[in-house]
Amino acid sequence: MALRVGVLGASGYGGAGLIERLRDHPEVDLVALGSRQYLGEPVDAAWPHLAGLLDLRFVDTDEVLAASEVVFCATPHAATAPIVDQARRAGLQVVDLSADFRLDAAGYRTWYGEHPYPERLPEAVYGLPELHRAELAGAAIVASPGCNATAATLALAPLAAAGLLGAHPVATIVTGVSGAGRALDLGFHYPELDENARAYKVAGTHRHTGEIEANLGRVAAQGKAARTHGERMPVTLAFNPVLVPMARGILATTVAHPERDGLSDADLSDAGLLELYRDFYEGDPLVHVQRDLPQTKAAAGSDRALVSVRFDARSGAMVAFAAIDNLGKGAAGQAVQGFNVARGFPETLGLRLEGRWP
């Protein structure tokens, strides 16, 4: 029998991605959509592209929770934690796309302040299947990663596992405007953004920095078998995001300067590094390691990550790249992937493997 699934925050971009994937998921009955802004209105009031495809109206949070066995929360940071607590008290499984359960109590305190429900943190498993697949099985709370954190982590994780991060890796990410959500803001007004690129929250101020450092620290300590609550090595990352005038997509360009002692010529080559990456991601259906440098357009509309790596012999740098759709592998697609793993379903069920071209 199909699981009864509800979506909160269903009138945001992440919510739309969840609706699109869950309505096609063969193990799911999408029963309820929550939105305060569109309360009582049909789905197409928020999403014209779904007109005639889904006979549901937006309802309030209590109605979504009452109708569901599993709830996806595409709701804002801080507003989500009380909903998760309410859902868990009702016995529901939760897939949380906000930042509220991605970090342990200490990490959360550093980047967000005191956690309002620390007793719920042990129930949460970080929802990056490529690193936490075994731990996700049966998880009560799937804490779906941030889009920037996903791209930077996937680019650098094989180097972390091999001890090749060096002292201070750098991640520069260009990101599409939909990552900021659907709310109106002057900075995203067309005349402000068109033909413009703007760095923001740089020099250690972006909250995804802590998430990336935690991910890479676990992988550095324990390799690919890194555990959500396991040992962690300290990693200090310079993370700099840049907003560019495209609707969707993230391209991470990351740089590591490892110590070269003990590394062979084969290690210090494009071919050797690509082989390292292919070995690390072997068996991961939503990460494709390729010789060509990734492009955001190739990932747009898909739930895959496209990854590559190069060695810069002149500077001694290892330069790794990852392209994702911030609303796919960076949000809704990753959330459904984590849900699939947690429930024991085939990992790519309901997901999109091909991008859109042109």
pLDDT in tens, 175-196: 998 877 777 677 777 888 889 8
* 128 and 254 fall within a common domain: no
* 76 and 97 fall within a common domain: yes
Contact 322, 264 (CB under 8 A): no
**Is residue 356, in this structure, part of any structural domain at all?**
no
Sheet bearing 238-243, strands edge to edge: 198-199, 238-243, 170-175, 250-256, 317-324, 305-312, 287-289
- Amino acid 190: pLDDT: 80
**Is residue 358, in this structure, part of any structural domain at all?**
no
Give the total number of structural domains in the chain.
2
Q: What is the pLDDT averaged over residues 159-183? A: 89
* 80 and 137 fall within a common domain: yes
**Is residue 352, in this structure, part of any structural domain at all?**
no
**Is residue 353, in this structure, part of any structural domain at all?**
no
Name the residue with higher pLDDT: 203 or 40: 40
- Amino acid 202: pLDDT: 86
**Is residue 259, in this structure, part of any structural domain at all?**
yes
Q: Where are the alpha helices (DSSP H) in 281-352?
A: 296-299, 333-343
Give the percent of the chain with pLDDT over 90: 82
- Amino acid 233: pLDDT: 79
Q: Residue 237, by phi and psi: left (phi above 0), alpha (psi -120 to 50) or beta? A: beta
- Say what the pTM is: 0.95
Distance CA 35, CA 339 (A): 21
- Amino acid 266: pLDDT: 73
**Is residue 321, in this structure, part of any structural domain at all?**
yes
Q: Whole-number mean pLDDT of the chain?
A: 93
Contact 141, 94 (CB under 8 A): yes
* 303 and 219 fall within a common domain: yes
Identify the CATH number of the domain in which residue 109 sits.
3.40.50.720
- Amino acid 241: pLDDT: 94
Of 34-48, 79-93, 186-200, 248-262, the range with the lowest mean pLDDT is 186-200
* 136 and 205 fall within a common domain: no
- Amino acid 200: pLDDT: 87
Q: Residue length, the chain?
A: 358
Strand 58-59 to 28-34 pairing: parallel
Annotated catalytic residue: which of 71, 74, 83, 147? 147
Contact 41, 209 (CB under 8 A): no
- Amino acid 213: pLDDT: 94
* 85 and 227 fall within a common domain: no
Contact 330, 147 (CB under 8 A): yes
DSSP 252-290: EEEEEB---TT--TTTTSHHHHHHHHHHHTTT-TTEEE-
- Amino acid 74: pLDDT: 97
Identify the CATH number of the domain in which residue 163 sits.
3.30.360.10
Nearest by Cα to 18 from 66, 61, 42, 54: 54
Of 95-99, 141-145, 189-193, the range with the lowest mean pLDDT is 189-193
**Is residue 337, in this structure, part of any structural domain at all?**
yes
Residues 271, 163, 249, 282, Cα dihedral to 10°:
60
**Cis link prior to 358 (omega < 30° from 0)?**
yes
Residue 73 annotated as catalytic: no
**Does position 42 have pLDDT exceeding 80, yes or no?**
yes
Nearest by Cα to 311 from 252, 251, 260: 260
Distance CA 182, CA 12 (A): 6
Q: Which of 44-58, 201-215, 225-239 has the highest mean pLDDT?
A: 44-58
Contact 28, 3 (CB under 8 A): yes
Provide the residue type at 193 as one letter.
Answer: L
* 108 and 182 fall within a common domain: no
* 157 and 256 fall within a common domain: yes
* 101 and 132 fall within a common domain: yes
- Amino acid 183: pLDDT: 74
Instruction: Provide the residue range defining the domain that includes 131.
Output: 3-145+330-343
* 88 and 228 fall within a common domain: no
**Does position 224 have pLDDT exceeding 90, yes or no?**
no
**Does position 127 have pLDDT exceeding 80, yes or no?**
yes
* 203 and 216 fall within a common domain: yes
Q: How does pLDDT run across 233-288, given as a tens digit for each residue?
A: 789 899 999 999 999 999 999 999 998 877 787 778 999 999 999 999 999 999 99
**Is residue 351, in this structure, part of any structural domain at all?**
no
* 235 and 306 fall within a common domain: yes
- Amino acid 96: pLDDT: 98
Nearest by Cα to 153 from 178, 129, 176: 129
